[in-house]
């Protein structure tokens, strides 16, 4: 039984390392990165690529596909970015207006 536990720990460790490396590569290849804070205090960051955005918030990490100029969407989140301002849209919630922030998320 201890061998199975060690094997499981090893697999989980490798999986976590691979996910971390993939996340770092996504950030390194981004055209631009930005942090935003919404009027209700919610904070999130985005790594902007040519055809998608990597959206990170307290609720998770999502890949949003570009649907128009400065507009990105996934089944969970929609985001509009215009220079240093953004609008965050989630189903069942009011639209949140957010501004770019220099502080960490």
> How high is the pLDDT of residue 34?
95
Q: Residue 51 gets which letter from DSSP? A: S
> How high is the pLDDT of residue 68?
95
The dihedrals phi and psi of 83, each to the nearest 5 degrees, come to: 55, -110
> How high is the pLDDT of residue 66?
96
pTM of the model: 0.69
Q: Tens of pLDDT along 69-93?
A: 999 999 999 999 999 999 999 999 9
> How high is the pLDDT of residue 103?
59
Query: What SS3 class is residue 33?
Result: strand
Stretches where the chain sits below pLDDT 50 are 14-25, 105
DSSP string, 55-101: EEETTEEEEEEEEETTEEE-SS-EEEEETTEEEEE-TTSPPEEEEEE
> How high is the pLDDT of residue 37?
97
- Tell the CATH topology of 32-105: Lipocalin (2.40.128)
């Amino acid at each position: 039984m201890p061998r199975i536990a060690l094997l499981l720990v090893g697999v989980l460790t490798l999986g976590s390392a691979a996910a971390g490396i993939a996340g770092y590569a996504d950030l390194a290849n981004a055209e631009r990165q930005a942090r935003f804070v919404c009027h209700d205090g919610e904070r999130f960051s985005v790594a902007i690529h040519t055809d998608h955005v990597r959206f990170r918030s307290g609720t998770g990490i999502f890949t949003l596909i570009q649907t128009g100029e400065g507009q990105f969407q996934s089944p969970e989140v929609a985001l509009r970015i215009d220079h240093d301002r953004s609008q965050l849209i989630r189903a069942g919630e009011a639209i949140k207006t957010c501004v770019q922030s220099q502080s960490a998320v």
